[in-house]
Every structure is written in structure tokens, then in C-alpha cells.
Amino acid sequence: MTTEDKRKAVIAVRHLTVSYGPKPALLDITLSIEKGLLVGVIGPNGAGKSTLIKAILGFVHRDVGEVLIDGIDAEKARGRVAYVPQRGAVDWDFPITVGGVAMMGRYNRLPWYRSPGPEDVKAMREALEMVRMSEFEGRQIGQLSGGQQQRVFMARALAQGSDILLLDEPFAGVDAATERAILEVLERARSAGKTLVVVHHDLTTAAEYFDRLVLIKQRLFAYGTPEMVLREDLLSEVYEGKLRVFSDVFRKEAATS
Amino acid sequence: MNTLIDAFTGPLGEAYFQKSLMGASIVAIVASVVGCLVVLRRMAFLGDALSHAMIAGVAGGYLVMKMLFGLEANAPGMLLGSLLTAILTVGLIGFVSRISRIKEDTAIGIMYTGVFALGVVFVSIFRHYIHIDLMHFIMGDVLGISDVDLWASAIVAATVLTVIILFFRHFQIAAFDPVMAASIGLPIVLLDYVLTTCVSLVVVSAVSMVGVILVVGLLITPAATAYLLSDRLSRMMGLAALFGVTSVAGGLYLCVWLDTAGGGAIMVFATLQFLVVLILAPRYGMIARWLRQRRRVPQQLLEDVLGTLIRRAGEPVTIDVMRKYIPVAEGLKASLGKMVREELIVPVDGGFNLTRKGAEEASRILRAHRLWESYLEHIGTPATEVHNQAHILEHVRDHRSMDYLDSLLGHPERDPHGSEIPPKT
């Protein structure tokens, strides 16, 4: 890896091995993600997708290797990376408005003795604008549709001001229209210069949605443009020959290219 | 010796003691059995709430019977009144948590204090008409049990136990997986109401003996004690009933010997019984848990022993020599014993040697260690850290990972220190 690469790579993972037991969750992962890309992480269940996300957040114990965010060790770079959780574990009855959730993104910048100031409100409003949720600012979060709820949490991540956003399966369990709306927000964030890493499980849409794909199963099988990654030989190795499922993917590939 | 026997048999000859023992045992059995479902469904707070809410019903029942029939302190009237308030309270709790965002625990807290307070106000306003001793209500009076109380509790117990036994499977599935129960067409809302009615009945009949505050203990403590000892609901219910009876018997003796409040003595005994089981229970107890932790041979230590033995190539190695090579050798003796039982190593002239199985395992560890060392050197780890890091990493040695490292490194034969990497087995 040259110094030039290092400078451009906002996320650099080098020789990362993480294990919880005799089987490694991640083995010898080396990966560098450049600024301003929309990156999808794909792989079968239990392939270590979530572990990779946690490693980038600096949450997991690494056996070997390093994870650098803008050249800084991930464990020391807390706050540079914003995380959007899965929709499941939220109390939707909680007395908080859309604006209140987005404002939480500013909390890490606020010292305990200060209330949010005008610049925080401005950042919060901009974030809501970016996910097109401005009109709902005063709405309680339980009164939103599933896709809108997802977008509020993306606004919170954007309000943190981080240049890197990690999203854990944002497209899980939403309908097609919502999926489009979320994708649109992701694309807007990318045009604003953010780098987005998205855990994704739907191979049929992966090529269409992402600039780059990461194919992992414990180790890195491929990283590159969708055409480079969605290759029959690679996928059959990773998904252990359950290829009938992919005939669709390749047909789509052929049609788009 | 005789005094000791007298201490046990003496009270048994007294009519009041016999009556208390019988009445309280009946109540304890049914309370403990129902309590099992209360514990499993995490409804303990509801049991507490019901017992408090009852006071309004007792006062109401008293007043109605006195106004309409001129009867003073009519027990069936008060019983019916408290049952009605209990059910009303449950209904209100369900209503509030259903129609609003208020969660159930808060709804319980609001409704039972409200109804309890209403009862207290009621008793104060009509204090010239109704003579309810609030203290009695709060503390209970197990030794002053009346024939009517005895009959009432016997009928309640028979009814509730019949319902629980007849519909055992229904209650079991509704407690374990309500969604599945509903999907196979069981009326779970009805079952819910039946269960809360049973709890109300039990609470009402138990309050006169142990009092408002302790009744929830009678409901859940024996059941929780049984919970620590059983893996089946039927067994849990049986044991709970047994613990209910022992609590009552033990408590009543305590009460006679020490001349204390009956309800208090029963619950003190039940709690002590729980603590003893908590410590001693064979699987879920504290000692069992501690022993399990102690018996587990740390994986790292096992690997270290195997690694040391294979590096000494067949010579027996004594414990003292091992201690020199193993960084953290705490519990080494126990681990060696366990490894002998697992047939990884055999004792030979004062030392230990690898068995065939042990040698295979050791060779896998050594291969993993040396492949990791080669890998670490390959990625540019400082030479001084290579061994230590490989020592930590050698626990990762599944075939897939090892094959990957092996081919990544171009199937090396020797590690960075020049030692041979054992072939794949």
C-alpha cells in the first residue's frame, strides 16, 4: 500500500483478525475504502458482516491487525464514525420528537453545562432536510412509518457531523417504495461527501445500489466494483454453491451492463 | 431430650395450633402452586397490588352486609367484596395499559395505590359503622384463625387447584408462548382472567393469615425456591407446594417458641429456606455455579501443557519443569488430572507424556502456532512480538483458517525461528 492510497482511504483495515472462539469471526481482512463512496457489505449469515462494522466502530477486541479511520486508530477515533442501528430495539412510545432524536446526534459535542445552541439547531435541521423529514420535526417518533423512522435515525447520524456512516441492514423489512426513499437519502449523503458503509443482504439489488461491494465470509473474498465482485465463481464459493438463487443476479447484471 | 421432643409435640396438642397449621398449610399449598405461574409470567407485582386493593373490598363488603342485612363483620360478604375489588383492579389495570401508552407496571402502581387509598378513606369515614382493624389487615393473624376462615380457604383451595390441574397444559402454554397459544385457538384472554381470578382468590384467603404485606411472599417465595430445583413445571408446582407447607410449619413453630407475630415468622422461615436452596441447589445454586467455574480447565492452560509436552519430544515432563515454561500456571495440577481423564496425557515416572490423541491435538496447536508466527512475520510484526502474539492466536486453528494461512504463505515448511511446521493431520 502506497502513502497515496493511505491518504485517500478514509477507512483502512489491515490484516484484521477477530475471534470469539476457535473459529475466527474475521481472518486476515485487508481493505481500504476511499472517501465519498457508497459501499455495500455482503456475505452469508454469520459471515462476520456485523463484526466488521463493529471493528470499524472500534468496539471489538482485535487479535491482530489495525483499523484506521482517517489515519487514526479506530478505538481512538470514536465520534468520527456514526452508526445507524437496526430498527428493532427502539421504544417507539418514548416521549421524543423527530427533532429530538436528530438533536441527540449533537450530544457528543455538547459539554454537560450547555444547552444546544443555534448552531446545533441548524445542524439538526440540515440533517432532517437531507433525509427529507423537515416537515415532521415536531412529530413524536411512534407516529411515523417504518421508512420515516429509519430516516430519522439516519438524520441523527448525519447530525453527528461524521464523514463516515455505518448502517446495519437499513433495507431489512421495508417495502419497495421505502427502499427507494432510503437509497435516495444514502445517495444525497454521498454527494455531500460522506462515505457510507452499508450491511446488505439482498444480492439482487446490490449491483444497482452500491459503488463498491465487500464480499466477506470470515475472510475477504473480493472488494471492488459490483462487476468485479458479483462473479459466479466467487459467489458460489462464498455461498457454497447455492447458485440457483443467483441466476437472477447474473441476468440482471447482463441487462444493466 | 424430652424437652426437645416436647418443643415439637407440645404445640401439636393445642387446638389453635392444629387449626392454624391446617388452615395455613392449605393456603400455602394453593398459593405456591399458583405462585409458580405468577413467577414464570413475572406477575409478582400484580400479586402485591391485588392484596393491597382488597381493603376497599373488605370495607365495602362489610358495609353492604351491615346496611342490607344488619350483619356485623360478615366473612363471606367481605370475601366476596375483596374478590370483586381484586377483579375490578385487574380490569382497570388492563384497561389503562390497553388504551394508553402507559406500560403495565406503571398502570398496576397507579391503580392499586388508588384503590387501596380509597379503601383506607372508606374505613376512616365509616369508622363508626364498620370495625375493621387495619393493623390486623396489614399483619394478619395466623393463630387466631376461625372455623369460617378455615372453610373458606379450603373451598378456595379446592376450586383453584382443580382449575389449575384441569387446565394445566393451557396455563403452561399461555405462560411459555402466548402467541403460539393464541394461534392454535386457545382463548388466552380468558385464560389470563382465570389466572388472575385464581390469584385474587388465593390472595384474599391468605391475607387474613399473613397480612397484606406478606401475602405476596407466600405467593412467590416457595415457588421461586422450587424454580431453583426444577426443570419441569409439574415438578416445580409439586416442590413449591411442599416448600409452602414447610414454611408454614417452620414458621408456626418459630412463632410459638419465640412468641412472635405468626405471619412474620412464616415469611422469615420461607425466606431462609429460599436462601439455603439458593446456596445449595445442585444446578442453579451458588455452590454449584462456583464449582462449575472452578472445574473448567482454562483452554489456554490446556494448550500450554500440550505445547510444552510436544516440544520436549517424547520425554516425560514433570510438573516443576512445566511451571518453568507456562506463563500462568494457576490450577495446573487440577488441569493435569482432568487431561489425564480425557486421555490427552498419561503419567509416566513422576512426569507426564502425550497419548496418541494428545499428540495429535498438540501437533495441531504447534502447526497453528508456527503458521501464525510465519504469518505475523509476513505482515511485518516486530520480531520481538511474534512469539507472544502467536501464542494468543494459536487458539484460532480451524481447518479452513489454517489452510488459508498455509496457502497465503506458500506452504512454508519452517517457521521464522527455523522450527519445522508440522504437516496437516
Residue A63 lies in a domain: no
Rg (chain A; Cα; Å):
19
Tens digit of pLDDT for each residue in A63-88?
A: 889 999 988 888 888 778 888 877 76
Mean pLDDT of chain B: 85
User: Is A61 an 8 Å CB contact of chain B?
Assistant: no
Q: What is the pLDDT of residue A243?
A: 55
Residue A189 lies in a domain: no
Mean pLDDT value of segment A2-23? 76
How many C-beta atoms lie closer than 10 Å to residue A192's C-beta? 12
Half-sphere exposure for A250 (CA within 13 Å, toward CB): 11
Distance CA B202, CA B160 (A): 8
B-chain CB neighbours of A221 within 8 Å are: none
Q: What is the pLDDT of residue B46?
A: 86
Mean pLDDT of chain A: 85
User: Is A17 an 8 Å CB contact of chain B?
Assistant: yes
Residue A124 lies in a domain: yes
Cα dihedral angle (B345, B348, B350, B352), rounded to 10 degrees?
-20
Q: pLDDT higher for B244 or B311?
A: B244
On the question of pLDDT at A248 being above 70, the answer is no
Which residues face A14 on adjacent strands? A66
A161 phi/psi in degrees, rounded to 5: 75, 10
On the question of pLDDT at A250 being above 90, the answer is no
Tens digit of pLDDT for each residue in A87-144?
A: 766 788 888 999 999 999 888 888 888 888 899 999 999 999 988 899 999 999 988 8
For the whole model, what pTM was predicted?
Answer: 0.70
Most confident of A34-43, A85-94, A225-234, B113-122: A34-43
Secondary structure percentages of chain A, helix, strand, coil, to 5: 40, 25, 35
Tens digit of pLDDT for each residue in B102-120?
A: 888 899 999 989 998 988 8
| Percent of chain B residues topping a pLDDT of 70 | 98
Mean pLDDT value of segment A220-232? 90
User: Is A140 an 8 Å CB contact of chain B?
Assistant: no
Q: pLDDT higher for A254 or B282?
A: B282
Which of the four pLDDT bands, split at 50, 70 and 90, describes residue B281?
very high
Q: List C-alpha distances in Å: A8 to A33, A195, A235, B193, B358.
A: 8, 12, 29, 65, 50
ipTM of the complex: 0.76
Query: Is B408 within 8 Å of A28 when comparing Cβ atoms?
Result: yes
Which of the four pLDDT bands, split at 50, 70 and 90, describes residue A30?
very high
Q: Which of A58, A136, A130, A43 is nearest to A97 (CA)?
A: A136
Mean pLDDT value of segment B137-161? 85
* B102: nearest CA partner in chain A: A93
Q: Determine the structural domain holding residue A114 and report its residue range.
A: 82-161
How many C-beta atoms lie closer than 10 Å to residue A10's C-beta? 22
Which residues face A224 on adjacent strands? A213
Residue A44 lies in a domain: no
On the question of pLDDT at A244 being above 70, the answer is no
Distance CA B191, CA B182 (A): 11
Distance CA A192, CA B215 (A): 64
On the question of pLDDT at B263 being above 50, the answer is yes
Residue A150 lies in a domain: yes
Residue A169 lies in a domain: no
Residue by residue, DSSP assigns A59-99 as -SPPSEEEEEETTEEGGG-TTSEEEE--STT--TTSS-BHH
Residue A156 lies in a domain: yes
A-chain CB neighbours of B405 within 8 Å are: 28
Residue A253 lies in a domain: no
Domain count, chain A: 1
- DSSP tag of B222: H
Q: What is the pLDDT of residue A247?
A: 58
Most confident of B160-164, B319-323, B378-382: B160-164
